[in-house]
Amino acid sequence: MAIAPAMKKTTAVLSIAFAGALGLSACGSQSSSTTATASASASASATASASASAKASSAATTSAASASATADVKVDKDGNVTVKANDGEGNSADVKVGADGKASVDAKDSEGNSSKVESDEKGTKAESKDSEGNAASSSTVEGDVIVSEDGGWSIQGDEGQVAVQADGSWSRQDANGQVAVKADGSWSIQANSGLQATVDASGEVTSIVGGEKADLKAPKVPAKPAQAKVTPVKPVQPKK
């Protein structure tokens, strides 16, 4: 399953939706600065979840889609903004930007894939499901982000430390243990519970200690912060 498949066909829809939401939010809410920050974070995370869209869509296709997409924008008396965007081809996105600085995006494509992004001043969380109902969620670590010249980045906060390399490979260390994911999607885990396992790029469990293969699940993908450009690779699901 591709990362955030619903976003593959909704990049243009989201662009229009966020443009409308941010424009009205800036005019109708005293919290425009906070709202814009949260919205930008959500937008960046949505883009992160849908990095495949940027690679799969040419500039010409994106331009054409943007021209045909429409958005219904509403703002209530409290400054909360709701945007319903649709490109006319079965791809849609619902965006909500609250006066309190919280933002959310629900996106669906014509193939039945869906993605959801929620963001506030504390962080961003993204979830996606493909047309078969398979889910992949992202975890969020709050803290200061360091971005290197090659595009890699790292973040350390109360919930742990994440380091992402320029090729998308990444590692995470937190209260549960350590996880390392390579650029090909293979990964290894060493949990404080005693579980140790290694999974290759095909999903084959090559080693496991302290647990059952049937219970093994791929680790959650770190949410990419707004400052970062490289999207963490999604680890393959282990074969049962």
Every domain of the chain and the residues it spans: 5-139, 144-222
Q: Tokens 């958005």, residue?
A: 71
Residue 227 pLDDT > 90, yes or no?
Answer: no
What's the rounded Cα separation, in Å, for the pair 165 and 151? 7
| Residue range 144-222 in CATH 3.90.930.1 | yes
Per-residue pLDDT, 50: 38
Per-residue pLDDT, 37: 35
48 exposed, middle or buried (CB, 10 Å; 0-12, 13-18, 19+)?
Answer: buried
Q: Which amino acid is located at 226 in the chain? A: A
pLDDT, tens digit, 9 for 90 and up, residues 35-51: 333 333 333 343 333 33
Planar angle of CA 116, 117, 118, nearest 5 degrees? 125
Per-residue pLDDT, 131: 57
pLDDT-based confidence at 33, cuts 50/70/90? very low
Q: Tokens 């039945």, residue?
A: 112
| pTM recorded for the entire structure | 0.45
Give the H/E segment covering residue 129: strand 123-129
What's the rounded Cα separation, in Å, for the pair 79 and 102? 12
Cβ–Cβ < 8 Å for 222, 141: yes
**227 CB neighbour count, 10 Å cutoff:** 13
Residues in Cβ contact with 33 at an 8 Å cutoff, skipping those fewer than 6 apart:
none
